[in-house]
Amino acid sequence: MPHDPLKNHLRAVLTPPFWQEGGTTTYLLGTDHLGRDILSRLIGGASISMEVGFVVVCIAGIIGIGIALLSGYLGGKVDTVLMRLCDIFLSMPYLMVAIVLAAVLGPSRNNIIVILVVLGWAGYARVLRAEVLRVKGGDFVHLAVLAGCSNIRIMLRHIFPNIVNTFIIMATLQLGNVIIAESSLSFLSLGVPPPEPAWGSMTAEGRNHIFDSWWICVWPGLTILFVVLSCNFLGDWLRVRLDPKFRQL
């Protein structure tokens, strides 16, 4: 990292990128209104967004997998109750509810993780339940039942390995959505609190300087765009590589 992302360089306030007049290679992408190096803050913000993204995707995914296995394999009233619960969460306006909860709980990294996990598990559960139902009809599952295997063993040893690929694809695509949600909340001062260099808060800080110091908000905005597009492209590539239906085309 070129500089401390939290350190103010008051003699270098609003320094433009190095290729513009007044720019310097010391601050390749320029500095903000407090003289903080934009490139260093982008790198620091990457660790925040990636940490939030991976933690949310992993926890929400684990919850979703558990719900999907119970609902899809056990069926009956268990399936009905769990799927109605999923319907309730999926019917909520995602970002609006996240904004309300963040305003109530207060801005912090942990609160954002909790909020996005609570709002994110249902999508995994709904899609993976369909995969569980598909795998459940396989001959190897019927043979496991006839062999006297317990429900837990069948779900974990026979069904779970066959839905992992779908989960990986979903998780990759959802990572981009989580980054957008975290950045949106930080933009509204409801996410990761300053002075931590969250991409959303960096974009918000540059609003007042967008015409005279465009680089303050443009670079974090482009970074969010690039990372989210990369997640989507990776998800599409994994779908082709991991899904047998696509490999046959």
Q: How confident is the model at residue 37, as a pLDDT?
A: 93
Give me the amino acid identity at 200: G
State pLDDT tens for residues 109-120.
Answer: 999 999 999 999
State pLDDT tens for residues 183-224.
Answer: 999 999 999 888 889 999 999 988 888 888 999 999 999 999
pTM of the model: 0.90
Mean pLDDT of 23-47: 92
Taking the C-alpha atoms of residue 131 and residue 126, their distance in angstroms, rounded to an integer, is 9
- Domains in the chain with CATH codes: 12-247 (1.10.3720.10)
Taking the C-alpha atoms of residue 159 and residue 123, their distance in angstroms, rounded to an integer, is 19
Nearest to 231 by CA among 165, 173, 169, 168: 173
Q: How confident is the model at residue 247, as a pLDDT?
A: 57
State the helix-helix crossing angle for 164-187 and 109-136, rounded to 10 degrees. Answer: 160
203, 221 in Cβ contact below 8 A?
Answer: yes
State pLDDT tens for residues 144-191.
Answer: 888 888 889 999 999 999 999 999 999 999 999 999 999 999 999 999
